[in-house]
Amino acid sequence: MDYVVSVEKPDLSQEFLQYLVSCTSFPVPSVVEPTLEFWYTVLDMHRRWKDVVGGFTSEAWADFVNAALPTIQEVVGLLLRRCQFPAHYIQTNKLQSDHPDVDDVRDLRRDIGDALLSLFSNWPSDNLTRPGSFVCLTHVVQMLQAASNIQELDALLFVLDYMVELFDLDDLEPSDPMYTAVLEVWQSAVHEFVGLAVRGDCIQLLLATINQDSVHHILQSQETAYGDFLEALLRFGHNFPDSAMGPSTPPHDVACVMYLLARGLRGIQNLSIRDAFLSQEWPLIAAIAAYHGSHPKVRDNAVEMFVSVIPSTANVETLVAIAHLSLGWHDQYAAPHALSCLSLLASSQPTLHPQVLDYLVVAFKSFCGKFNYIPNAASTRAALLDRFQHPTEDLALEATQFFLLLRQVLRSAPTLLCRGGDSTLLLDILHFCCDVVAVDHKLPDVTDAVCGFFSDLLAMDHDGPVEALLHRIAYAWVESLLVFVAISTISTKTRTGTKDLQTVNLRLRIMVRPDELFLPKIYSELGPSFNERVLPSITNEILKGVVAQYNADQLLTSREKVSRQISEELAERAKQFHLLLDDVAITHLTYGAEFTNAVEQKQVAFQDAERSKFIVMKAEQERQAAIIKAEGESDAAKLISDAVAKSGSGFIEVQRIDAAREIAEHLSKSRNISYLPSGNGGGILLGLNADA
């Protein structure tokens, strides 16, 4: 009798989903990452199915979602766990780690966040007033409230940060039930952090972390990423006592506070709230900045904060105090960035334009002091050139910031400098510009700043004494062109590879001058610093191309040929920029450490080989000497044997007598031996005891 066994056909889609779940749970990130792209689109595929001819119906899609939803829920929990950093990393209490497990989580987090955001935004829901995204938000907040460890809490906060994009409260009316529901969920998420005690603990923990130099450096280099965090810090600390911050506070702590204030104030987008916060905290900020302004980091961070609040501040007293602080710092220290505060005052605060002119007078006086510049003095240019040759601070940055300030004033309030009644300040500034362009200071940034100021000034309408001084500008310009067309020497260094893949370091000395026929084009396209703009790049290009054609040893044996080829190709390339090269020479050539070590090892091996060769030759000579000696002794023995055979024992007696004579002569030289002559021509040697 035959039995028919009914075998249920497996659901291929469910098996495939389970296979992807296994891949997502795999510990290797390269296996997990491709599956995230699928989970990103799994609940959005119905839109694509509609575009397929003969594709699935809406009923088929609903059946698939109902069958796949438990698996997708499993995937969500799995992805939330994959967002958690390892416990050993959390215990280190550090912001960075080189551990591969930490790198894996950090690399996957953003992709996981995108996948979860897509899943939550398309999550199915039967409730018409509560979309699936709201259900997901509610569950994540509940998980946040029930979190039992730091890594789980950190992962959920990361996901919540992504989920902010699901609900834009600015687009919802307060009367909308959805607005109230979302607001209640968010408030419940932060309910634990409302109390002052918890807020105080959070602030202490944040400040203790930020107080570390490494953390402070990271925050400064990644301002955008930490803007919201620092704004949260300010909101945490609202209405907290500030008595601990005073003159005895270390400057580093003050710099950290200034940085946090600057970054946090920029994070407050509502300008009125930002201004109110500044007004409340300004007495403390002003006192701390004035007392600790001698520290450069405090000054820089304070200037950043001033720049962020000047456009939105309506309090004139605060703006005047900022200007006085900035001018004082610029006069006493190397603080060129403090002038940026005056630039903003000129551009964003028209009501303060009368005071800005007084500020410019003070700033120019301080500026002249830093350059040792005395207007209308006989030795002005000599003193100015000596100051450029022996700088104690960054003069290029000082000049750049000062002329940026002047150009901003010309654009925002031209009447301040160019009014006909009193143009003393502008005349003094133009005198300085003419003198600084005339001297050969070799600082292209200074020349560019001055020429930019000239351009803005010449584009305006002038009358009176200013118009007469414009002739001096033209004279100074022509005088500077004489320096511009002169031959200048440029030294450039390049590190490149040879044909046999060895690394070499070359230094070229190039004598260059501009083509006089194309001076307007050179100046308009390249500027006065044409050497620095063109030569380093084309020199690097030519050197790499030429050196790659030769082996490392050929650079020494064929140095003249290499130098000539570099000179010809570089001159041809420079002509495209209308630059003429009078001479090109290789002044320095060194090889990489690997090649140098190889040469040294080769020399050592060669010396070892020569030493071995010498030892062999020495042994050969010693062998030949031994053979010759043996042959001589053999011949001597043979002659003695022949003599004994012919003369009997007489020969032996003669040798015995000779030996006795030698012994007697040797002993007679001793102090304990006496020689007594005898009458028969012989003698007797007596041994005398010295102790007797």
pLDDT of residue 3: 40
Last residue of a domain, which of 551, 568, 591? 591
Q: Is the pLDDT of residue 321 over 80?
A: yes
CA distances to 211, 620, 627, 628, 629 from 624, rounded to whole Å, are 83, 6, 5, 6, 9
Domain that includes residue 218, residue range: 196-314
Name residues whose C-beta falls within 8 Å of residue 573's C-beta, 6 or more positions apart in sequence.
538, 541, 542
Last residue of a domain, which of 541, 559, 591? 591
| Residue type at 523 in one-letter notation | Y
184 and 213 belong to one structural domain? no
pLDDT of residue 246: 63
pLDDT of residue 657: 79
Q: Lowest mean pLDDT: which of 30-39, 220-229, 304-313, 644-653?
A: 220-229
Q: Is the pLDDT of residue 6 over 50?
A: no
155 and 24 belong to one structural domain? yes
Give the residue ranges of DSSP H helices in 503-558. Answer: 519-525, 530-547, 554-557
Query: Average of pLDDT values for 663-684?
Result: 62
Structure tokens, 606: 């060669």
Residue 27: inside a domain:
yes
Structure tokens, 253: 């702590």
Chain centroid, CA 428 distance in Å: 40
Mean pLDDT of the chain: 75
Residue 213: inside a domain:
yes
175 and 232 belong to one structural domain? no
pLDDT of residue 482: 55
Structure tokens, 157: 């906060």
SS3 label, residue 509:
strand
Q: Is the pLDDT of residue 169 over 60?
A: no
Residue 620: inside a domain:
no
Q: Lowest mean pLDDT: which of 38-52, 300-314, 455-469?
A: 455-469
Q: Is the pLDDT of residue 200 over 60?
A: no
The count of structural domains within the chain is: 5
Structure tokens, 289: 């900045």
Three state DSSP letters for 142-170: HHHHCCCCHHHHHHHHHHHHHHHHHCCHH
CA pair distance 443, 619, nearest whole angstrom: 70
CA pair distance 175, 128, nearest whole angstrom: 17
pLDDT band of residue 197 (cuts 50, 70, 90) is low
Q: Is the pLDDT of residue 418 over 60?
A: yes
pLDDT band of residue 441 (cuts 50, 70, 90) is low
553 and 450 belong to one structural domain? no
33 and 151 belong to one structural domain? yes
Residue 628: inside a domain:
no
CATH number, position 513: 3.30.479.30
165 and 206 belong to one structural domain? no
Residue 340 · residue 303 · CB < 8 Å:
yes
230 and 355 belong to one structural domain? no
SS3 content of the chain, % helix, strand, coil (to 5): 70, 5, 25
Q: Lowest mean pLDDT: which of 126-130, 323-327, 592-596, 685-689?
A: 685-689
Q: Is the pLDDT of residue 264 over 80?
A: no
375 and 513 belong to one structural domain? no
188 and 230 belong to one structural domain? no
pLDDT band of residue 241 (cuts 50, 70, 90) is very low
180 and 41 belong to one structural domain? yes
pLDDT of residue 1: 40
Q: Lowest mean pLDDT: which of 211-215, 566-570, 624-628?
A: 211-215
- Residue 459 burial class via C-beta count within 10 angstroms: exposed 0-12, middle 13-18, buried 19 and up: exposed
pLDDT of residue 106: 82
pLDDT of residue 475: 62
Q: Is the pLDDT of residue 257 over 70?
A: yes
Pairing relation of β-strands 579-591 and 503-514? antiparallel
437 and 501 belong to one structural domain? no
Last residue of a domain, which of 130, 159, 193? 193
CA pair distance 637, 643, nearest whole angstrom: 10
pLDDT of residue 394: 73
Residue 343: inside a domain:
no
CA pair distance 617, 675, nearest whole angstrom: 52
Residue 639: inside a domain:
no
| pLDDT tens string 44-96 | 776 665 555 455 567 777 777 888 888 888 888 888 888 888 888 877 766 66
Query: Average of pLDDT values for 175-201?
Result: 63
| Of residues 477 and 606, more confidently modeled | 606
Residue 320: inside a domain:
no
Residue 583 · residue 562 · CB < 8 Å:
no
Task: Please state, for a pLDDT cut of 90, what percent of the chain lies above it.
Answer: 0
Residue labelled with tokens 């456009």: 311
Residue 614: inside a domain:
no
20 and 146 belong to one structural domain? yes
SS3 label, residue 565:
helix
Name residues whose C-beta falls within 8 Å of residue 39's C-beta, 6 or more positions apart in sequence.
20, 24, 72, 75, 79, 115, 118, 119
